[in-house]
Structure 1
Amino acid sequence: MKDQAENLRRRLEARQNQKMARTIAVLSGKGGVGKSNFSLNFSIALSKMGKRVLLFDMDIGMGNIDILIGGHSPYNIIDFFENGRSLEEIITAGSGDISIITGGTGLMNLFSLDEGKYARFNEEFSSLMANYDYILFDMGAGITHDSMKFLLCVDELVVITTPEPTSITDAYSAMKYIHSIKKEIPCFLVCNRVFTNKEGKDTIKRLQNAFKKFLDLETVGLGYLPDDRIVSKAVSEQMPFILFDSEADVSKAMVDIATRYANHSFGEKLTLPKSHFLRNMKRYFLGK
């Protein structure tokens, strides 16, 4: 009994000393802003820098990561909860040396964890977090009651907008809602489909000023992506644009964004807290 307790203590200490993956939720206030395309290509850009990346498609019923890479995952999260598969088993190798978990309607199980399901998810996800540098969650457009709880668990948020006024307003509304419940989540901004550098800079600055003025929230502008015809061509070919044409302006801009993020070269002062993803899940999903 004493030996078992000692072994358990050593395992817990080893896990606590392991470097755990950062969990990042990519979201937008509305659909159609290129959020999933950003998540996929951002993941690949990080992978090209030698980072270990897992991309989790969290868009219930509307997930399109498979479509963007022209593949089909044999398993999804429902196989974990209902068919006895491990998380390792449902991971698919994706383009650009990233790993992918697809969600689909099985995500409803993730949003309704009881203690038994949480214990199993906690144990297996802890192992995953030790195997990756970043775990990205490509969230569905907008915010539901269930997805809101999940957003409160992650370490960081990346909010995608475009220069369109409706997109800016929806991005602000989404962050206002999140901020009203939890104020300390680091937030990064990316502007997609800009026609000029000035338009991209102005859009991000406008959002940052609004967050600061009305919410007293400091946000970090990661950068902007041009409205490049290569993107639609790559989508038609079901290939990530960063692999379809690495020399395209949009691909170079994505590499710049990923480099800024990975190197923490934000310009702004930002303290990234230690990851407490699983502890947060226990708090927000089990109320403990």
Structure 2
Amino acid sequence: MTDQAAMLRKRFEQFHNPKKQRTLAVVSGKGGVGKSNFSLNFSLSLKLKGYSVLLIDMDIGMGNVDILMGSQPSYSIVDYFRNNASFSDIIHTGAGGIDFIAGGSGLTDFLDMGENQLARFFQEFESHLSNYDYILFDMGAGISTDTLHFILSVDDVIVLTTPEPTSITDAYAAMKFIHLQKDDIPFYVVVNRTISILDGKETYQKLKNVVGRFLERDIINLGAIPDDQNVAKAVRKQVPFIIFNENSQASKALTEIADRYCKQEFADPQENKKPFMAKLKRLLFER
């Protein structure tokens, strides 16, 4: 009953206030840090707070968001680029009522499209994005020139790392690459698979120090997710861990991270912010 009341309040607020849409990209240095699992569960946490969310799997050729929630979508993003599927066709509803677009291997075809095809993409994409409060892009491991356009167009970048030294190094490399292209994108850091609270704090501090020293900028700490057996069990069951066991340590940490992100006082006023699609159009037409 309390959850239903909160949802109704949220919908009432959204009805009486202009929608303040945010776009996010979740990145990591390399694979194996739990990026897609975080993206899915973070999106679900936002959804449970009453926000409308679209999760787009951009892991080219290795997308697994649909697998993590045991879904078998009829169409993926590949079908839009190769088989003339519409955006309505490729948007599916998965576990917890989350809307998502499954990944595939067609993004390189997208970058090779002509102006007429790009115009179709922009028109359909933009009309659907206006339905959501948050649009989250689960980027592939590492950063390629193919996916950089999307990262440079979003409002915020969430960088996922683990306490392992190689993961920290890779996370810094990813931030450096993005920073050199556009130095005003906010970096939010989440430390995954920590063994203690101190473990998470120390990992974040290491990244903060190296980014401050070499890039002369700050990063924002969203929090840490403990190494929790419930996460592995949920993956095997193909159920998001925030649904599998909402009282697990990982689920509680994830909820706190989503709370912390939603409470951020964003520096860029919405009325002065250039929309995501405007930035993406400019980057793609200039490529």
Normalising by structure 2, we get a TM-score of: 0.89
8 Å Cα contact 1:163-1:203 kept in structure 2? yes
Which residue does the alignment assign to 1:80? 80
The answer to whether structure 1 residue 191 and structure 2 residue 191 are counterparts is: yes
Which residue does the alignment assign to 1:160? 160
8 Å Cα contact 2:54-2:134 kept in structure 1? yes
What is the distance in 2 between the residues matched to 1:116 and 1:221? Answer: 42
8 Å Cα contact 1:55-1:100 kept in structure 2? yes
Q: What is the identity, as a one-letter code, of the residue corresponding to 1:282?
A: K
Structure 1 residues 20 and 260 mapped into 2: Cα distance closer, same or farther (>3 Å)?
closer
After TM superposition, the structure 1 = structure 2 runs for residues 1-150 of structure 1, keeping only pairs within 5 Å, are: 19=19, 21-150=21-150
8 Å Cα contact 2:81-2:107 kept in structure 1? no
Q: What is the identity, as a one-letter code, of the residue corresponding to 1:211?
A: V
Which residue does the alignment assign to 1:277? 276
Q: Please give the root-mean-square deviation of Cα atoms over the aligned residues, in Å.
A: 1.7
Which residue does the alignment assign to 1:3? none
Q: What is the identity, as a one-letter code, of the residue corresponding to 1:111?
A: L
8 Å Cα contact 2:189-2:219 kept in structure 1? yes
Which residue does the alignment assign to 1:10? none
Deviation digits for residues 244-272 of structure 1 (CA, Å, limit 9, x no counterpart): 0000000000000001111217xxxx514
Deviation digits for residues 119-154 of structure 1 (CA, Å, limit 9, x no counterpart): 112111221221000111111101112122221122
Matched residue of 2:221: which SS? strand
Q: What is the identity, as a one-letter code, of the residue corresponding to 2:38?
A: F
Which residue does the alignment assign to 2:252? 252
What is the distance in 2 between the residues matched to 1:272 and 1:213? Answer: 25
8 Å Cα contact 1:18-1:130 kept in structure 2? no
Matched residue of 2:246: which SS? coil
Superposed displacement of residue 18, structure 1: 6.3
What is the distance in 2 between the residues matched to 1:113 and 1:220? Answer: 37
Superposed displacement of residue 109, structure 1: 2.7
8 Å Cα contact 2:62-2:103 kept in structure 1? no
What is the distance in 2 between the residues matched to 1:128 and 1:223? Answer: 31
8 Å Cα contact 2:55-2:100 kept in structure 1? yes
Matched residue of 1:131: which SS? coil
Q: What is the identity, as a one-letter code, of the residue corresponding to 2:68?
A: L
Superposed displacement of residue 187, structure 1: 1.1
8 Å Cα contact 1:23-1:275 kept in structure 2? no
Structure 1 residues 194 and 154 mapped into 2: Cα distance closer, same or farther (>3 Å)?
same
Matched residue of 1:54: which SS? strand
Structure 1 residues 106 and 41 mapped into 2: Cα distance closer, same or farther (>3 Å)?
same
What is the distance in 1 between the residues matched to 2:159 and 2:205? Answer: 14
What is the distance in 1 between the residues matched to 2:167 and 2:202? Answer: 14
Superposed displacement of residue 79, structure 1: 2.1
Segment of structure 1 superposing worse, 76-85 or 238-247: 76-85
Segment of structure 1 superposing worse, 106-115 or 219-228: 106-115
Q: What is the identity, as a one-letter code, of the residue corresponding to 1:135?
A: I
8 Å Cα contact 1:22-1:275 kept in structure 2? no
Matched residue of 2:32: which SS? coil
The answer to whether structure 1 residue 231 and structure 2 residue 231 are counterparts is: yes
How many aligned positions are there? 268
Q: What is the identity, as a one-letter code, of the residue corresponding to 2:183?
A: K
Runs of 5+ in structure 2 lacking a partner?
1-16
8 Å Cα contact 1:58-1:137 kept in structure 2? yes
8 Å Cα contact 2:162-2:168 kept in structure 1? yes
Structure 1 residues 118 and 21 mapped into 2: Cα distance closer, same or farther (>3 Å)?
farther
Superposed displacement of residue 275, structure 1: 4.8
8 Å Cα contact 1:55-1:136 kept in structure 2? yes
Matched residue of 1:217: which SS? coil
Structure 1 residues 83 and 128 mapped into 2: Cα distance closer, same or farther (>3 Å)?
same
What is the distance in 1 between the residues matched to 2:216 and 2:117? Answer: 38
What is the distance in 1 between the residues matched to 2:68 and 2:89? Answer: 22
What is the distance in 2 between the residues matched to 1:51 and 1:113? Answer: 33
